[in-house]
Amino acid sequence: MLLAEPWLWNQDMLRIAICAISILGSVLAHAPQGHVSIILLGATGDLAKKYLWQGLFQLYLDEASNGHSFRFHGAALNPPEQGWQLMTQALDKLSCPLDVLPESCAELKGQFLKLSQYWQLQTAEDYSTLSQDIETRLQQEGLREAGRIFYFSVPAFAYAGIAQHINSSCRPGPGAWLRVVLEKPFGHDRRSAQELSKELGTFFREEEMYRVDHYLGKQAVAQILPFRDQNRNALDRLWNRHHVDRVEIVMKETVDAEGRISFYEEYGVIRDVIQNHLTEILMYVAMELPRNLSNPEELLRCKLQTFRALRSLEKGNAVLGQYQAYQGQVQKELQKPSGYMSLTPTFAGVLLQIDNLRWEGVPFILMSGKALDERVGYVRIIFKNRAYCAQSESHRDSGKSQCQPRQIIFYIGHGTLGSPAVLVSRNLFKPSPPLGSWQEIQEMPELHLFGQRLADYYAYRPRQERDAYSVLISHIFHQQKNSFITTENLLASWDVWTPLLDSITQEVPRLYPGGNGNEHLLDFEQEGNQVVFVQREVEQLVSNPGSGPMPSDFRVLKAKYRQSPLVSAWPEELIARLASDIEVAAERAVRRSGEFHLALSGGASPVALFQRLAKWHYNFPWDHTHLWLVDERCVPLTDPESNFQGLHVHLLQHIRVPYCNIHPMPVHLHRRLCVEEDQGAELYAKEISALVTNSSFDLVLLGLGTDGHTASLFPHSPSGLEGEKLVVLTESPAKPHQRMSLSLSLINRAKKVAVLVMGKRKKDIALQVSRVGHEPKKWPISGVLPTSGQLVWYMDYDAFLG
């Protein structure tokens, strides 16, 4: 027998191997992959009827031919006959993709209906019966169980009970997986979200839970990270504070809240849309790009990094509105009396800022509302334009003119365009087209969007639109967790939004008529670090006969307190006066000696002052100012309890002061806190002596505690109240107990001492201190008597008059 040449023999063997692999792949693709049971809880509800059954049907169409077998269990509290009837009504309305023939569609719907059944699930026994039914069918049909998906389309208050029943009576057996899908709302604030997460965590592992934010399944939103990744070369130089002017993330609705008032009264527009949907989109825009977009751990790490950089939200960061018909709807649906007033906002515009090198100073505007002029959602990144064009507009190619707007838009849907799209101004750069089945938009070139013709954009849209829930249900099935909200992600978001929500509970929203009638009522603008309505409402304060004094009835009151000047006013006026006085003192000191040494107290009282100095005093000589601390808690300087951290958050990060002019107290030395052998107090005293002439600060700002303490000098403190030490370690009766403080001796060397006293809580101590003499051991504040400087008291009316 003749043998073939070795190289020919090797080629034949290679062909045989490739053929075998191909056949094996084909066999494996159609081999049984195991049985999946999908249990839809709340199967007869609105969400299920509108979206979830259609999403499950699409999953069946996509995956049934890939070797999996399915069974769909609809569950609710309705009795079996009624529940099945309601469920089949939803199943009758299922639709097939456009490329499926009507006859084939009818057959596929029939198959899906045969695989669906209804359960009334209330008790642990009901869940146990469901589990036994699944296992019996598996044995009868000789199938291996792959896993179970439980979709919670039920109110959040029902989660814990259902979770307990699943965990105790309806988990799949060994070797099979469990996936639990949770719908928002995930809590009402940080505390409730944490409690709910903790409760669910006792029944399910983190990897078993899929919290749905359906906006992350919308096609334009899902393109944000891939688009950024594909266009790294072009965007690396543009995607930052040097080139981005602002970012707008918007979701507008024309419908109102009628029929959903009980939900809306509890949550309002911020909790319903902004805290979740729009915040998640913000993360996609602002986060650093992970190296691997499909790695959920890396994605979460980049998100959390961005959450931590978000500046704290305050009342001034939001404008609120409420459509006029809302009050009547509340009274009708919730059976409230005619005089009932709801303060729930149905419109909100919020300014967020990110304190990192990429985004510092770039405003991120999140806006949503009901009863507005159009239904539309979009993300708009607007780039700075520094071009000055000499040629008139009529002689330019508008698509390439550098004088035209430069923007990238992820168009989520509806509105003028009517479909999801990605738009890039032609004068910006030519992008790589979005991945997947997207195509360039050729029609409607003269359509105008955001100040430009559609022809002036590189514009792309999906060849086939897919519902967000269908996309997310597919991701759940394939265990793709990067489109879902983890516990850490959820709590990080609530950390951002809870302070704002707490601060606006008593805010009266601006009324608007709804629809086109809103005109300019809801237009708002950025003013410093806040947002305000463009059209200001005229407010009139009318004092009725016999009514108490109104804020406008008072001006700044000048008097004496403990033989020293007293300035008293309403809080806002008082803070404005103190800030102005500090600026005057700074200017005088800089003219006199070239520098201004300012020592500041911590705590809650000076926060408003710090914010005022940061936002309104643009002529303040910060470049010649040295900032010192009056006292400090013995915690790391990054700890939220740290006075320096408070100073950083509310003042330092918003001003331009040389780093070498900032002098935090050295409470954290050698990896330990306020240990006497480390001589932190002595080090601070030496630094003061070296830099401050005669150790005499130009101005020291103090507060007053309810026990008469000031700085961190407490009644009967063994150090700091007497003697010549400049800086001392002290003990506080409140945690954290250990403190570092300037001594009375050093405070009294200052050229000016300002004592800020605010709030009704301080009325009793202010009255008491007004009557005592020089008793620093008992009342440390009484020992504040500058040797050759001036003492001025700044006291608001609540503290002074009660």
3-state secondary structure (DSSP) of residue 400: coil
Q: Which residue has the tokens 């989660």?
A: 159
Q: With 80 as the cut, is the pLDDT of residue 400 above it?
A: no
Higher-scoring residue by pLDDT: 12, 169: 169
Query: Around Cβ 712, how many Cβ atoms within 10 Å?
Result: 27
pLDDT at res. 2:
37
Mean predicted confidence (pLDDT) in 629-642: 95
Share of the chain above pLDDT 90, in %: 83
Neighbours of 375 (CB within 10 A): 13
Round to whole Å and give the CA distance between 224 and 229: 9
Stated length of the chain: 802
Q: What is d(CA 601, CA 187) in angstroms, rounded to the nearest whole number?
A: 36
Say if residue 391's pLDDT is above 80: no
Nearest-angstrom CA–CA distance, 344 and 621: 43
Q: Give me the mean pLDDT over the 350-368 stretch.
A: 96
Q: Is the pLDDT assigned to residue 481 strictly greater than 80?
A: yes
223-247 pLDDT tens trace: 999 999 999 999 999 999 999 999 9
pLDDT above 50 (res 661): yes
pLDDT 10s digits, 9-35: 444 544 544 444 343 344 334 445 799
Q: What would the pLDDT profile of 732-788 be if each residue is shown by its tens digit? A: 998 889 999 999 999 999 999 999 999 999 999 999 999 999 999 999 999 999 999
Q: Which of 277, 475, 663, 668 is catalytic?
A: 277
What is each CA distance from 772 to 69, 469, 781, in whole angstroms? 85, 70, 10
CATH superfamily of the domain spanning 35-97+104-183? NAD(P)-binding Rossmann-like Domain (3.40.50.720)
Specify the pLDDT at position 284. Answer: 97
Quote the CA–CA distance of 149 and 128 in Å, as a whole number: 16
Helices (H), 617-692: 643-650, 680-691
Is residue 341 pLDDT above 70, yes or no?
Answer: yes
Same CATH topology for 35-97+104-183 and 218-385+402-464+493-504: the answer is: no
Q: Is 794 helix (H, G, I), strand (E, B) or coil?
A: strand
- Please give the pLDDT value at position 549: 40
* Residue 650 annotated as catalytic: no
What local confidence, expressed as pLDDT, does residue 294 receive? 87
pTM over 0.75: no
pLDDT score, position 557: 62
Q: Compare 776 and 99 and report the one with higher pLDDT.
A: 776
Q: What is the pLDDT of residue 604?
A: 86
Mean residue pLDDT across the chain: 90
- Look at residue 801 in the predicted model and tell me its pLDDT: 84
Give me the pLDDT at residue 338, please.
86
Q: Looking at residues 77-92, what average pLDDT do you find?
A: 94
Quote the DSSP letter at residue 529.
T
Domain 218-385+402-464+493-504 has CATH 3.30.360.10: yes
Class of domain 560-801: alpha beta
Task: Check residues 554 and 201 and name the one with the higher pLDDT.
Answer: 201
- Backbone φ and ψ of 611, nearest 5°: -65, -40
The CA distance from 303 to 398, in Å, is 37
pLDDT grade for 399, boundaries at 50, 70 and 90: low
Burial class (CB in 10 A: 0-12, 13-18, 19+), 714: buried
- Identify whether the C-beta of residue 542 lies closer than 8 Å to the C-beta of residue 350: no
At residue 94, the pLDDT reads 94
H/E stretch holding 793 reads strand 790-796
Decide if pLDDT at 354 tops 80: yes
Spell out the residues 6+ positions from residue 738 whose beta carbon is closer than 8 angstroms to its own.
633, 634, 673, 674, 729, 730, 731, 732
The domain limits of the chain are 35-97+104-183, 218-385+402-464+493-504, 560-801
pLDDT above 50 for 545:
no
pLDDT in tens, 176-211: 999 999 998 899 999 999 999 999 999 999 999 999
